[in-house]
Amino acid sequence: MPFSKLTSQPNDPLLQLITAFSEDPRPHKIDLGVGVFRDALGLTPVMRAIKAAEERLLASQKSKSYLGPEGDKGFVKAIAALLFGSSLPDRFIDGIQTPGGTGALRLAAELLVRSGVKRIFLASPTWANHNAIFRQVGLEIIAIPCFDIINQSFNLAGFIDTLATASSGDAVLLHGCCHNPLGIDPTPDEWGIIAQHIAKLNLLPLIDIAYQGLGSGWSEDAFGLQTVLAAAPFGILTYSCDKNFGLYRERTGAVYVTSPDQEQLDCILSNILCLARTNWSMPPDHGAALVRLILEDKELTHLWRTELEEMRRRTLSLREDLARLGQVGHINLAPLTQGKGMFATLPLSPNQVEWLRSQHAIYMAHSGRINIAGFRDGDVERFGTALKSLIAAGVA
């Protein structure tokens, strides 16, 4: 019988959370689960720069014909110029467009396996889909416990000690900035030490950057990736425009590789194109075309950068608001100002998360991860009240 060996798979917890939130009739419900940027009213509007670019695209686009498996080359080059600039003078760089950052990660994972890589090291916890993608292609995952959630800090020594057990040719996954789900990034000095060890151990870095511009600033958020890729002979970088261009549903991303010489780069890129052809053949173009149009025009670039900075400052302001709640039972919110980007993880048990949902209509992942950009005006105060109620109720 066809499909008789299949077993039903559990629903994605985040997707379940989205459905549950939408069906909750309580007027003051708070959605801290889904990872999208929201304004003070709880809306995720289309960026003004994107709207302007769509008007230009509508007027100028003459065809919907295929672009090829590499996608929009102008988009790929424009993002690369912003990402790398002149920071990698000794490296040859190229890449292709992908269906979102997830498509880029899938392509990178398959490239690792095709290259003979067996293991990938990653700081734990990480974005849940990282583990799913790497396991799906057959990579062995070595988790590195190196975060202190209570104090919202990164344990560099712990990270390096575990990384030292890697073998030459192993891969290591790094979050370029604004770590998801913790929002805890290495300092510039720590990035330098990490880069030195990766080069010394002859590891292949895979850097995932999905939130550039939402952490410390556009250039600052690229410091880590530039430092690591300058130290390692070869590297892979996956990129997403979901958050910093607000192109969530357009699935706009890219994958890049760096190499010490053009001949090896050409060989790597030919394999990436082959893998892309068998995965999705040609990537969707709409989002990439919009990003290209924005980055080719000074006025649109200025408008987009202004909007992005407004988003960054809103998230930073929300972190400061949360930090002012201080210590609530075992939960110390003050260290949240040390984090970067949209996400943070609080020391809450699954039972406590469920209680906050049932009693106060606060929705978040069972891990305690919250999307800081999900707070509307007035929500932080209600969140603080709910935490106090949680502690008073003695929920473990």
Of these residues, 72, 127, 185, 242, which one is catalytic?
Answer: 127
Of these residues, 243, 304, 355, 379, which one is catalytic?
Answer: 243
Question: Cα–Cα distance between 63 and 171 in angstroms, integer?
Answer: 41
Of these residues, 72, 185, 208, 321, which one is catalytic?
Answer: 208
Distance of CA 52 to the CA centre of its chain: 26
> Residue 65 — φ and ψ, nearest 5°?
-70, 165
- Active site annotation includes 191: no
CA distances (Å), 103 to each of 100, 128, 133, in order? 5, 15, 10
| Parallel/antiparallel/unpaired status of strands 327-328 and 331-332 | antiparallel
Question: Cα–Cα distance between 315 and 183 in angstroms, integer?
Answer: 12
Q: Examine residue 125 and say whether the peptide bond preceding it is cis (omega within 30 degrees of 0).
A: yes
- Active site annotation includes 208: yes
DSSP code at position 123: E
Helix (H, G, I), strand (E, B) or coil at 18: helix
- Active site annotation includes 243: yes
CA distances (Å), 144 to each of 2, 156, 185, 221, in order? 41, 11, 14, 22
Residue 47: HSE in the Cβ half-sphere, 13 Å Cα cutoff: 28
Strand segments (E) across the chain: 30-31, 92-99, 119-124, 140-145, 147-148, 153-154, 171-175, 204-209, 235-240, 252-259, 327-328, 331-332, 343-345, 362-363, 369-371
**Active site residues per annotation:** 127, 208, 243
